[in-house]
Amino acid sequence: MLALRTVTFAKIPSDEAGPAIRELMRRGFVDLHAKIGKDDAFRYVPILPEFLGSEPVKGMELVTGEAHTLDRRSPQERIAEALSGHPGLAEIAPKRWEYVGDIVILRLDEGCLPYKREIGRIYADVLGAKTVCADVKGVSGEFRRPSMEVLYGTETEAVRLENGIRYRFDVTKVMFASGNTDERMRMRRLDCSGETVVDMFAGIGYFTLPLARFSGARRVFACEKNPESYRFLVENARDNGVEDVVVPILGDNRDLPGRAFADRILMGYVQTTSEFLPAALRMIRPGGVIHYHDTFYVGERDARIKGIFDAACGDGGYEIESIREVKSFAPSVSHYVADVRIRPSRRSCSR
């Protein structure tokens, strides 16, 4: 919270303020716990009392007035103070959190649960959040639904701004994989000029949106089975100005019609991705690229990916162009993406 106190200001003309303030800062003369004020013509810089007679301060016009005090403590320190009425609670309360727009998401220690409503209120106040949620047990099920409990507030729909894309979603209904940021950025940088792309697991548009907006793709067929995610996919395509490029499809990607029409296919799923590979191989054109996501034990990725494509496509029917780690998934397990080009000469790929 901000409080008022009386301080002495150096009154500096606005057109001279930049260099003068930097010099005062460099010398350590500025009271960092008070806000710098301004009006149309001047900046008012709070000076520590012990330096009022020092050069260059004594050559400046000085005025006395009230300044707002700044709390320079970290959010963690302010949260700890607010929780101090409950012995031991500050030690187990979350020291880290995730922002999704103006919603804050926490992971709570079991000992915090009896105080979860008060914790929600305090974090909202200190962090300036409209809503605070607790991630109870991550995501689960075919639709990767989050398990969220609202601790404070009522609004659960947020907008996440990332690399020029607006992702709108409800944090209690739809997951957002914040650890996939680099891969979403890579989709933005791809050169897909004139291509037809299929995103088999589009979600709210995680990969579809940056690719559709920046890569030059002619058309992106974005398939999503979860009705909640599909609704936000449609809204996000419109909000990001790519509704003429993106074709949202509600349903199972294995039911998508057509053969050999896609230049590129995104398979942004994990753990059971191989079950959907026959459908991808049916849709991909000879020479096209599949971005295949999956999870493997660290050190086994190359052999596992080769085994999956050998089984589906035959040895020699494909080329693994690159494999990269997207993020850590579990102890000794990582989420990887392989860029796999399907050779025109393939004979035994699944159809």
According to DSSP, the β-strands at 284-297 and 262-267 are parallel
Chain-centre distance of CA 306, in angstroms? Answer: 31
Residue pair 7/46 in contact by the 8 Å Cβ criterion: yes
- Residue ranges of the alpha helices (H) in 215-263? 227-239
Query: Does domain 75-155 sit in CATH 3.40.1180.10?
Result: no
- Number of residues written out for the chain: 351
In sequence order, the 6+-apart residues with CB closer than 8 A to the CB of 38 are: 14, 44
pLDDT along the chain (351 residues), means of 10: 78 86 86 84 91 87 84 82 88 90 89 92 90 80 76 91 90 82 93 97 96 97 96 97 97 96 96 95 96 95 95 87 93 95 68 45
**What is the C-alpha separation between 78 and 56, in angstroms, rounded?**
36
Q: Which residues pair with 167 in a beta bridge?
A: 160
Q: How many helices (H) and strands (E) does the chain have?
A: 9, 17
Kindly report, as residue ranges, where domains of CATH 3.30.300.110 are found in the chain.
75-155
**What is the C-alpha separation between 348 and 351, in angstroms, rounded?**
9
Q: Which pLDDT does position 257 carry in this prediction?
A: 94
Query: Which class is 4-68 in CATH?
Result: alpha beta
Residue with tokens 């260059």: 56
Of 168, 175, 190, 92, the closest CA to residue 133 belongs to 175
Q: Which pLDDT does position 62 carry in this prediction?
A: 93
Q: Which pLDDT does position 236 carry in this prediction?
A: 97
Q: Which pLDDT does position 351 carry in this prediction?
A: 45
- Residue ranges of the alpha helices (H) in 89-151? 89-92, 116-127
Q: Which pLDDT does position 331 carry in this prediction?
A: 92
Q: Exposed, middle or buried by CB within 10 Å (0-12, 13-18, 19+), for 6? A: exposed
pTM metric for this prediction: 0.75
179-342 adopts what CATH topology?
Rossmann fold (3.40.50)
- Give the burial string for 151-180 (b: 16+ CB within 10 Å, else e): bbbeebbbebebeebbbbbbbbbbbbbeeb
Of 288, 295, 348, 285, the closest CA to residue 323 belongs to 295
Q: Is 253 left (phi over 0), alpha (psi -120 to 50) or beta?
A: alpha
Kindly report, as residue ranges, where domains of CATH 3.30.70.2580 are found in the chain.
4-68
Q: Which pLDDT does position 346 carry in this prediction?
A: 56
**What is the C-alpha separation between 316 and 312, in angstroms, rounded?**
11
Kindly report, as residue ranges, where domains of CATH 3.40.50.150 are found in the chain.
179-342
